[in-house]
Copies of this chain bind each other. A is one copy, B any other.
Amino acid sequence: MTYCVGLKLNAGLVMLSDTRTNAGLDNISCYRKMFFFENPGERVIVVMTAGSLSVTQTTLARLQEAIADDMADETTSVLLAPTLLRAATIIGDTLSRTRREIAEQCRDLRQQASASMIVAGQRKGGEQRLFLIYPEGNFIEATEDTPFLQIGEHKYGKPILDRVVTPATSLADAQKAVLLSMDSTLRSNLSVGMPLDLAVIERDACRISQHRRIREGDPDFMQMSAAWSAALRDSFGKVTI
């Protein structure tokens, strides 16, 4: 499983992903699920992935190959696409094609292979965009009403986001919100695991403003997690029915 969440705020974009990949309970490994495509100051795109590793890795490899290709143009390279919407379309098409090919290969074994992605970014002169790309390649976009998108194990971590995240949330509070959302998920689903990748793109920076890898035992994360548990219990004591 996986948990990835992206927030689109007035102040910028905030993304958080875990790194646990598993095939069954007895085959667990650590793979990065957050990827950067960047031409700093001009364009930045963050892709987060959930689903079959063979689908997500092949999709990402094809996107990278398309960028590096001598014949790369605005219809093939996410760094040359004229808008973020076109870049999301390239990613969606690549994901859809890869997924169909691999599903076809798996058909004899009746195994499923699918994946979804969150794509966040901005190009110079454009707006910030945050998309959720479905396995079929179509996508939806975050709006003022729903400023966050999640993929993977999204349920445990949704109540806190519902309650505290609005477009006006600061980047500092947003990082706290996604980390607390992840904390609830880590406690409840073993197939979501540390380390975490946290990235921030300030509005109009068009570059990765911050990227931090949070490892098992990270003292700041542990302190925040303990403080949140204590604060929740304290709040619980004060509420009456």
Q: Nearest B residue to A179 by beta-carbon distance? A: B241
List, in ascending order, chain B residues with CB within 8 A of A240's CB: 176, 224, 227
Contact B164 A239 (CB under 8 A): no
Most B CB contacts (10 A, CB to CB) among A162, A187, A235, A241 go to A241
Copies in the complex: 2
How far, in angstroms, from A1 to B162 measured CA to CA in the complex? 21
A239-B233 contact given A156-B158, A184-B159, CB 8 Å threshold: no
List, in ascending order, chain B residues with CB within 8 A of A173's CB: 236
Contact A188 B155 (CB under 8 A): yes
Give chain A's interface residue range (CB within 8 Å of chain B). 20 to 34
Contact B228 A239 (CB under 8 A): yes
The digit string for A168-185, where 1 denotes a CB below 8 A from any CB of B, is 000011011101100010
List, in ascending order, chain B residues with CB within 8 A of A224's CB: 239-241
A163 in the interface (beta carbon within 8 A): yes
A229 in the interface (beta carbon within 8 A): yes
Contact A236 B164 (CB under 8 A): yes
A-B contact pairs, 14 of them (CB 8 A): A155-B155, A155-B188, A158-B188, A160-B236, A163-B232, A163-B233, A164-B232, A164-B236, A176-B236, A176-B239, A180-B239, A224-B240, A228-B235, A232-B232
Question: Which chain A residues have a beta carbon within 8 Å of chain B's beta carbons?
Answer: 155-156, 158-160, 162-164, 172-173, 175-177, 179-180, 184, 187-188, 220-221, 224, 227-229, 231-236, 238-241
